[in-house]
Structure 1
Amino acid sequence: MQEAQHEQGPGAGDVVVIGVDPHKASVTLEARDTREILRATGTFPTTAAGHRAMLSVARQWPRRVWAVEGARGVGRALVARLVAGGERVIDVPAKLSARSRVFDTGQGRKTDSHDAHAIVMVALRDKRLREVVIDEDLEVLRLLVDRRDELAAARTQALNRAHRLFAEVTPGGAPTKKSIAQYQALLVGIRPRDGAGKVRRRMLAEELTQAHRLDVRVKELTAEIKAAVLARGSHLMDLPGIGPAGAGRILADVGDVARFPTRHHFASWTGTAPIDASSGAHQRHRLSRAGNRRLNHILHIAATVQMRHAGTLGKAYYDGKRAAGKRPLEAMRCLKRRLSDVVYRQLVKDAVNLDTATTGAGPGGHGGATVQSSAAGLPPHTGTSDQPLPGPATTTLAPTPSARQVPITTG
């Protein structure tokens, strides 16, 4: 463990911001007060002893705030321990710290000390950062959804292996991939005589048994996720194409929807908002590959479901875009962008209802919250757009105490 190096400076009562660059095996920190005077630097292992040593350094400043990069990623475990211990933690997006590092050094070289310095400087200068608050219900939901995704992927792998083995033991091969029950019915009629064929059949039986066991567990987790989503008062599953797993993933990854000021911010985060690539008089937009790809996939599945079922608003919207001259992929992207707005409005509506139920607010909800449009509406009168509009946008959900911005002041 590298001992922290202390720097003496005036203002012992100042608020000290501790910038932390977390890794799996170690964390590097740099502490500065509100006048940006260096107070300490150091690197600590991610062990129980290392965590205690890091806290002993931090406790010399009674007024302290932790700034952690990747609080929802690699720093999740560290943030959970800090918050559980009563510490104040703010989340510093990796993009902001990367920009700060480039501006500070003139190049993008990465070291742990440079990263910690960039993190603390962003925390001191950016007033829009939000304090991390652990929501136990969402944390449980995230664990359930992650586990279901892992088991579903393992089930798919088992079925893929079974399909490969069927292609080797069946004359002409297995033409298409089938369900577990269909594979089990095919297996009954396979009676190989050679030694290799008998081994393949035994392996097929093992793969199908494993796939069946995983399928049962996936269904149990899906039911558990559905109960958790309903218990939270969410109506995301009312939207066509979004099931329990999709709704659980949206709630777990979004967290507090108040961190997205507008639907345009939400669409940018989900990767459904096109990127402006205009130049001069030539106006064009290109597909965004950024954003949360898991939520982008969920919106893609919802768009596909609505597009394939007549009578849904999504199908009518897609057909309208095709009639307007859009190519199939372009119309699909427009539909995903519109569904992003629909999901955002439903999240806002659920958050207002939940806050009203817990705080006893009036039926109008928070000031600034929009509850006029239907959460399932796709027609133009609901106020959505295929791409973000230029200029500032108004806030659609008032910040709540669980997701407040953190002022770092000396007062």
Structure 2
Amino acid sequence: MNERGTVAAGIDTHKDTHALCVIDLVGRVVATGSYAADGEGYDRIAAAIGDPRDCVVVGVEGTGSYGAGISRRLAELGYDVVEAVRPKRERRMAGRDKNDPADAERAARDALAGKASGTPKAGGGWAEALRFRMVARDAAVSESTRAANSAHALIVTAPAPIRGELGGMKTPALMKALSRRRRARDVVESSLWESLRSLSLSWIGAKKAAAAHEEAMREILLANAPALPGIHCCGTISAARLAVTAGDNPERVSGESAFASLCGASPVEASSGKAKRHRLNRGGDRQANRALHTIARQRMRRDSRTKLYVDKRTKEGKSRREIERILVRYIAREVYGALVRPTDAACEPYRASARAAKSERLRAGATQAQASRALGVASARISEMERGRLVDAPLLQRHRSWLESLSAGERWGNPE
């Protein structure tokens, strides 16, 4: 917050227009207005607020949806932008106006009073790229599920010979069988086979699209946060969901306890009398919470250390759900460390591979300068990568391929 400023601003965001309210430090309304939600409108809002050095803070509603564009633009111009949370209907004071200018004024007052202090997601980086891929992948999965359900429903009501032929088949084999054209005896059977074939082709295409998006997400994670998929029992989808929740600026979260609260994994006390216990936190980002629970359940099924822990806690009288919530809280701590320190202990497999690459280079008698020329990067990047300070999985893979070519007698570049 800019303590030297003389005004504060609040913005109520919508799809097509944004409402602005500017107040001074004693709460008097200085300016109001409505602006288009586009690039020109963003610049007009900035001009109405004034110099960033004169503005204490800007509270923006919906920084993750309709307010994403204006939040990024104001941050680029140097304004201190915070997220203003829309109040629930029951928390609004009776008798107060409910309109866009009033909402913008409330956002400005909350931001000035410190009630709105959350830092918005930066956007525009690798986490945002993951979010795009995740949306498309989820849509493809939903489409494949819809197609499979529709096909099974048609088979249930199909004539007995067709139902007998297809009724016991698993979905992948069924879709492969339905993708082939069939001869029909009449118009009804012809329509049935063509409908089933159309659904099977839709299922196959959706499955291929989902797999392609998942592979792209894996590459993004390995290039930017290899520690995250390196967490035990954390798959690509779970890692991507957690990265999207944190955003491109995970440092905006004040600590691992705040991250656990953001994911709905922080314990909520539910004690009564002699019973001391904690219950489920129903708040937070539900997609991140789902990812944490997925990791916890996989560990409870497959990890020997986790199984021993579950047995111990069970003997203490804990229910399976309570044990899972304890594990989820621990995993949230792991995930936060992987997000803010992608080259620390959680990324030990990557660092071990980088150290091994350095040893191979020294055995081959090659210098960092030769490696940098062969790979087309600065020698400083080679040094940082081999020490584990630079996380760049594609570059490490290229480096190891170059070292293999040296051992095979090939020559990359002309060392001086």
TM-score by length of 1: 0.71
One of 173, 177, 188 as aligned partner of 1:185 = 177
1:296 corresponds to: 289
Kindly indicate whether residue 317 of structure 2 is the aligned counterpart of residue 325 of structure 1: yes
Q: Secondary structure at the match of 2:229?
A: helix
One of 141, 158, 161 as aligned partner of 2:147 = 158
1:121 corresponds to: 109
Kept in 2, the 8 Å contact 1:68–1:119? The answer is yes
Kept in 1, the 8 Å contact 2:22–2:108? The answer is yes
The 1:191/1:302 distance shift into structure 2, 3 A limit, reads farther
How far apart are 1:14 and its partner, in Å? Answer: 4.2
One of 15, 26, 29 as aligned partner of 2:17 = 26
Q: Distance in 1 between matches of 2:29 and 2:343?
A: 41
How far apart are 1:38 and its partner, in Å? Answer: 2.1
Q: Secondary structure at the match of 2:234?
A: coil
Q: Distance in 2 between matches of 1:217 and 1:42?
A: 44
1:322-352 Cα offsets, whole Å, 9 max, x none, are 3333333333333323322222233243276
Q: Distance in 1 between matches of 2:263 and 2:42?
A: 35
The 1:336/1:118 distance shift into structure 2, 3 A limit, reads same
Kept in 1, the 8 Å contact 2:75–2:81? The answer is no
Q: Distance in 1 between matches of 2:91 and 2:223?
A: 45
How far apart are 1:250 and its partner, in Å? Answer: 1.2
Q: Distance in 1 between matches of 2:90 and 2:163?
A: 62
Q: Distance in 2 between matches of 1:350 and 1:239?
A: 11
Kept in 2, the 8 Å contact 1:257–1:351? The answer is no
After the TM superposition, which residues 248-287 of structure 1 pair with which residues of structure 2 at under 5 Å, given as runs? Answer: 248-255=240-247, 256-278=249-271, 283-287=276-280
Q: Distance in 1 between matches of 2:322 and 2:308?
A: 15
Most deviating of 204-213 and 114-123: 114-123
Kept in 1, the 8 Å contact 2:16–2:36? The answer is yes
1:149 corresponds to: 138
Q: Distance in 1 between matches of 2:36 and 2:339?
A: 39
Kept in 1, the 8 Å contact 2:9–2:21? The answer is yes
Kindly indicate whether residue 28 of structure 2 is the aligned counterpart of residue 37 of structure 1: yes
Most deviating of 266-275 and 320-329: 320-329
Look up the equivalent residue of 1:178 and give its one-letter code: K
Look up the equivalent residue of 2:253 and give its one-letter code: F
Q: Distance in 2 between matches of 1:174 and 1:254?
A: 45
One of 195, 202, 209 as aligned partner of 2:194 = 202
Q: Distance in 2 between matches of 1:33 and 1:19?
A: 12
Look up the equivalent residue of 2:305 and give its one-letter code: L
Kept in 1, the 8 Å contact 2:338–2:344? The answer is no
After the TM superposition, which residues 247-396 of structure 1 pair with which residues of structure 2 at under 5 Å, given as runs? Answer: 247-255=239-247, 256-278=249-271, 283-309=276-302, 311-350=303-342
Q: Distance in 1 between matches of 2:67 and 2:102?
A: 17
The 1:190/1:241 distance shift into structure 2, 3 A limit, reads farther
Q: Distance in 1 between matches of 2:8 and 2:168?
A: 59
Look up the equivalent residue of 2:254 and give its one-letter code: P
Q: Distance in 1 between matches of 2:184 and 2:232?
A: 46
1:15-59 Cα offsets, whole Å, 9 max, x none, are 422210111132111112334332111223435664454344234
How far apart are 1:138 and its partner, in Å? Answer: 2.2
Most deviating of 129-138 and 232-241: 129-138
Which 5+ residue runs of structure 1 have no aligned equivalent?
Answer: 1-12, 366-411
How far apart are 1:185 and its partner, in Å? Answer: 3.3
Kept in 2, the 8 Å contact 1:100–1:121? The answer is no
1:191-219 Cα offsets, whole Å, 9 max, x none, are 76453333122111111111111211211
Most deviating of 254-263 and 226-235: 254-263
The 1:87/1:181 distance shift into structure 2, 3 A limit, reads farther
Kept in 1, the 8 Å contact 2:178–2:200? The answer is no
The 1:87/1:173 distance shift into structure 2, 3 A limit, reads farther
Look up the equivalent residue of 1:260 and give its one-letter code: V
Kindly indicate whether residue 185 of structure 2 is the aligned counterpart of residue 213 of structure 1: no
Look up the equivalent residue of 2:281 and give its one-letter code: S
Q: Distance in 2 between matches of 1:171 and 1:33?
A: 73
**Structure (1/2) with the larger helix percentage:** 2
1:10 corresponds to: none
Q: Distance in 1 between matches of 2:335 and 2:155?
A: 42
1:232 corresponds to: 224
1:5 corresponds to: none
The 1:36/1:184 distance shift into structure 2, 3 A limit, reads same
CA-based RMSD of the aligned residues comes to 3.6
Q: Secondary structure at the match of 1:19?
A: strand
How far apart are 1:106 and its partner, in Å? Answer: 5.7
Q: Secondary structure at the match of 2:81?
A: strand
The 1:177/1:54 distance shift into structure 2, 3 A limit, reads farther
How far apart are 1:152 and its partner, in Å? Answer: 1.8
- Same amino acid, percent of matched pairs: 26
Kindly indicate whether residue 238 of structure 2 is the aligned counterpart of residue 246 of structure 1: yes
Q: Which has the higher contact order (CA 8 A, sep 6+)?
A: 1
1:371 corresponds to: none
Look up the equivalent residue of 2:21 and give its one-letter code: E
Q: Secondary structure at the match of 1:88?
A: coil
Kindly indicate whether residue 49 of structure 2 is the aligned counterpart of residue 58 of structure 1: yes
Q: Distance in 2 between matches of 1:37 and 1:47?
A: 28
Q: Distance in 2 between matches of 1:132 and 1:340?
A: 19
What is the aligned length?
342
TM-score by length of 2: 0.70
When Rg is computed on C-alpha atoms for both structures, the one with the higher figure is 2
How far apart are 1:177 and its partner, in Å? Answer: 8.2
Kept in 2, the 8 Å contact 1:141–1:228? The answer is yes
